[in-house]
Structure 1
Amino acid sequence: MWRRHWLCILLCQGFSSARDDWRPESEGERSGRKACELRFFQTDFAAENFQSKWLNQKNKLAFIQCLYHLRTRWRHREKEIFAGGIHYPTLVTAHHTWPPVSTSGAKLCWLDQLGVHRNSIEPSDCCDQRYGPKGRPDCWDEYFTYELCCVGDVNLAEMPHYFVAPAFDINVGNAVRQLGTFDLGQSYALQTLCRSGDVVIDVGANVGGFTVPLAERVGPEGEVHAFEPFRKVFQHLNANVALNGLSNVYTYNVALGTAEEKVLAYVPDLTNFNFPSAIRVLDQFGPEAAVSEANLRYEERQETLTVRRLDDFSFSRRVQLIKIDVEFMELQVVLGAKSTILQNKPLIWMENEAYFDDPPNRTFVDTMHRDLRYVCTAVARLELFCAPGKEAPNGGLVQDDGLIPAGFRRVFRHLSGEVKDMHLWRALSEVDPDFAAK
């Protein structure tokens, strides 16, 4: 995970941190936001031994309404960056809405003000074009529109996102601050590979650049299991899960390999400009070689890391998708996950630099083919997509195109120039035409 891949760079052309085509903000929106922010500042539920006026029904309802409005029609239009940190500097990104991270903005159309339970609005009625090309006009306001709620177009109404990362992380931390994820194209592609209610595994989760959007994609009924071995990076992963209010993420401060063991390893130095995501767990460079050969910086003190097999973990139901980015440990991860893979037959996306050497090192691809009956294909520089193969007429093993959703293909058709209007909502609508109303 060295950099934002070319897959992202192409998709991200033209994106900026702010929108200049949003409907102008009204004075009512500005004053409403300020009033709600003042309410949050002044509210002290603990006053008078938790018996104050703040806990009466009227104020509790106003508090909930403010939470709802500040996430929707009164959300901040401009992203803000705050510097913090005591033992090392951190940057907190607030109000990220562009480019869209997920389709959560569309999901809120059909939820109550708590954002948890269904409201009384019936999607099929509001979206019914018998009332007109944009459904029932009385269903919509300046935020909740036909385009957002029925089509799922979050480009003008994304939910605000929040992220914290080490200030000196010039790779993943930088990308998450700019894009709300590590690699925008990969994030969108991964979201097309799963649906609401699915179980997803994120191996090498880092600060959660893919964990967050995947957790939103699979929804409260789904699960994301995120593995990150380095303690301080793991703390940022948990912070970002909490900052975005995600209830379906399970995090593990372990590396995945072929056996359970303890490893004494160098860990990322977060007080210098660095690439924490490129630091290996096994077969590490020595401190001097790390700087001279890989531009990596370690803390002086080593830490004991835990390595376990994925097969040692249990999951509530079938695993749909596994994403692996583990700095040259992908073969060990797979070998320690044979039972999980054979039982669940998940789609697998992983970084495998060796395959892109000249000549290519096919060890990983051939192992997947021979031991697990998977077919792997290159989908971007350094990235492979692997899926269970099917028997060809000649007795060989070929890719089963039926396992690959149309929206996944759209992402890559965009890269070739065939598709010009690459948007997350459009890709996901090809996977599930009714996704916005579910």
Structure 2
Amino acid sequence: MGTARARADSARPGLVDRGLRLLLRSRVLPFVLRLKLNKLLCSGGPPVAYRTDVGGCIYQGMPHNLIDNHVYYLGMYEPAIAEAMRFCVKAMPDLGRCAFVDIGANTGLFTLVGAKLFACVHAFEPYPPVFARLEEHIGLNGLESVNLYPLGLGAGQGDLPFIAPSPDNYGTGHFLGTGAGSAGLRLPVASGDQVLQHRSCAIGLVKLDVEGHEPQVLRGLADVLKTDQPVVIMELNTTTKQAFGNIEALMASFPTGYIPLAIRRKKCGFSVERFQWAKKQDNIVVVPAHRRAAFGPVA
């Protein structure tokens, strides 16, 4: 299974814990059910720090953390995103020769997956304690193709107020708007067009998950979107929808011709369905017109 697997799963869980991991990683059960069982049976999170395999790389998880809880018991956090990334590279092989941009990289789960799929990776994470874990994972795996940026992306250069994540869920950190005042923590931002203007290869795929800051990120990435026309995978939760306001504002953030599709949650594999603004669809993939056929028919 490779060096990463040989060194992974270094924690020594008890019999009950091993049984829970076996149950919750079973592809026989629908993922939504496994999520509910995880919340019911394993809300305390991993009992110890651990190492495991993520996308062929070593991931070092910590106890009592939601993201690391999902990796430990379920095998992955937001597995639909990783499945979408793998699908895109398989269905559009030229993407593998391009760069992957991970905006809101957090501790590096999708950065690690992307490092094995793309020619290079650009990963952005502004919150220093979380960036330190991201940096640790890249060093632990010796990934020289990954470029790390200790900042967020936005509509321009400067710094913005930032709400630090809770210790048990690093995914809750987020920027506030420019009119939110100057008190408290402020972290640097820059536009993606500025930071990536000297990129060595075209951007093929973007993963975007920044808890409501998406409109500003896309505004600062306008030239990259127009020039490289990457596929964009993004979270679209209630907070993000409120930030855009409506579907017209969402699609105005992309060049003409981009098409939104919803990522379906399945027991395994990857598929898309018709995107509906009013429907709860956690993640979407926004596709340039010339890539649309790769995703097949939509129900």
TM-score (norm 2): 0.68
After TM superposition, the runs of 4+ consecutive aligned structure 1 residues lying more than 4 A away are 76-79, 354-357
Percent identical across equivalent pairs? 22
Are 1:190 and 1:214, in contact at CA under 8 Å, matched by a contact in 2? yes
Deviations 1:200-254 (A, max 9, x none): 1000010011110110122xxx101001111100111111112223221111111
Are 2:120 and 2:146, in contact at CA under 8 Å, matched by a contact in 1? yes
User: Among residues 170, 173, 178, which one is paired with 2:68 in the alignment?
Assistant: 173
Structure 2 equivalent of residue 75 of structure 1: 6
User: Among residues 310, 314, 320, which one is paired with 2:204 in the alignment?
Assistant: 320
The change in CA–CA distance for 1:364 and 1:208 in structure 2 (over 3 A counts) is: farther
Equivalent position amino acid for 1:259 in 2: G
The change in CA–CA distance for 1:345 and 1:164 in structure 2 (over 3 A counts) is: same
User: Among residues 211, 219, 225, which one is paired with 2:111 in the alignment?
Assistant: 211
Equivalent position amino acid for 1:224 in 2: V
The change in CA–CA distance for 1:235 and 1:364 in structure 2 (over 3 A counts) is: farther
Rounded to whole Å, the distance in 1 between the matches of 2:8 and 2:150 is 35
Equivalent position amino acid for 1:80 in 2: A
User: Could you say what secondary structure the match of 1:75 adopts?
Assistant: helix
Are 2:165 and 2:174, in contact at CA under 8 Å, matched by a contact in 1? no
Shift in Å at residue 259 of structure 1?
Answer: 1.2
The change in CA–CA distance for 1:332 and 1:91 in structure 2 (over 3 A counts) is: farther
| Matched residue count | 238
User: Could you say what secondary structure the match of 1:193 adopts?
Assistant: helix
User: Among residues 244, 254, 276, which one is paired with 2:141 in the alignment?
Assistant: 244
The change in CA–CA distance for 1:91 and 1:305 in structure 2 (over 3 A counts) is: farther
Shift in Å at residue 186 of structure 1?
Answer: 1.9
The change in CA–CA distance for 1:179 and 1:322 in structure 2 (over 3 A counts) is: same
Rounded to whole Å, the distance in 2 between the matches of 1:283 and 1:91 is 37
Rounded to whole Å, the distance in 2 between the matches of 1:248 and 1:269 is 30
Shift in Å at residue 70 of structure 1?
Answer: 7.9
Are 1:165 and 1:236, in contact at CA under 8 Å, matched by a contact in 2? no
Listed as ranges, the matches of 1:318-397 within 5 Å are 318-354=202-238, 361-368=246-253, 371-380=255-264, 381-389=281-289
Structure 2 equivalent of residue 107 of structure 1: none
Deviations 1:335-389 (A, max 9, x none): 11000110100001111224878xx8314433146x4431112224221111113
CA RMSD of aligned residues (A): 3.4
Structure number with bigger Rg: 1
Shift in Å at residue 93 of structure 1?
Answer: 2.1
Deviations 1:250-301 (A, max 9, x none): 111111111111124332353xxx32212221159x9xxxxxxxxxxxxxx9
Rounded to whole Å, the distance in 2 between the matches of 1:384 and 1:167 is 30
Listed as ranges, the matches of 1:391-430 within 5 Å are 400-404=291-295
Shift in Å at residue 198 of structure 1?
Answer: 2.3
Rounded to whole Å, the distance in 2 between the matches of 1:177 and 1:302 is 34
Rounded to whole Å, the distance in 1 between the matches of 2:73 and 2:112 is 15
1:280 aligns to 2:237 (yes or no): no
Shift in Å at residue 166 of structure 1?
Answer: 4.6
Are 1:207 and 1:234, in contact at CA under 8 Å, matched by a contact in 2? yes
Are 2:104 and 2:125, in contact at CA under 8 Å, matched by a contact in 1? yes
Shift in Å at residue 311 of structure 1?
Answer: 0.5
The change in CA–CA distance for 1:364 and 1:168 in structure 2 (over 3 A counts) is: farther
Equivalent position amino acid for 1:177 in 2: Y
1:190 aligns to 2:79 (yes or no): no
Shift in Å at residue 178 of structure 1?
Answer: 3.4
The change in CA–CA distance for 1:91 and 1:334 in structure 2 (over 3 A counts) is: farther
User: Could you say what secondary structure the match of 2:147 adopts?
Assistant: strand
User: Among residues 161, 180, 189, which one is paired with 1:307 in the alignment?
Assistant: 189
Rounded to whole Å, the distance in 2 between the matches of 1:283 and 1:275 is 22
Listed as ranges, the matches of 1:250-289 within 5 Å are 250-270=147-167, 274-283=168-177
Are 2:101 and 2:121, in contact at CA under 8 Å, matched by a contact in 1? yes
Gaps of 5+ in 1: 1-68, 83-89, 105-160, 287-300, 391-399, 417-438
Shift in Å at residue 71 of structure 1?
Answer: 2.2
User: Could you say what secondary structure the match of 1:182 adopts?
Assistant: coil
User: Could you say what secondary structure the match of 1:246 adopts?
Assistant: coil
Equivalent position amino acid for 2:251 in 1: D
Rounded to whole Å, the distance in 1 between the matches of 2:109 and 2:153 is 19
Structure 2 equivalent of residue 232 of structure 1: 129
The structure carrying a bigger strand percent of its residues is: 2
User: Could you say what secondary structure the match of 1:210 adopts?
Assistant: helix
Shift in Å at residue 327 of structure 1?
Answer: 0.2
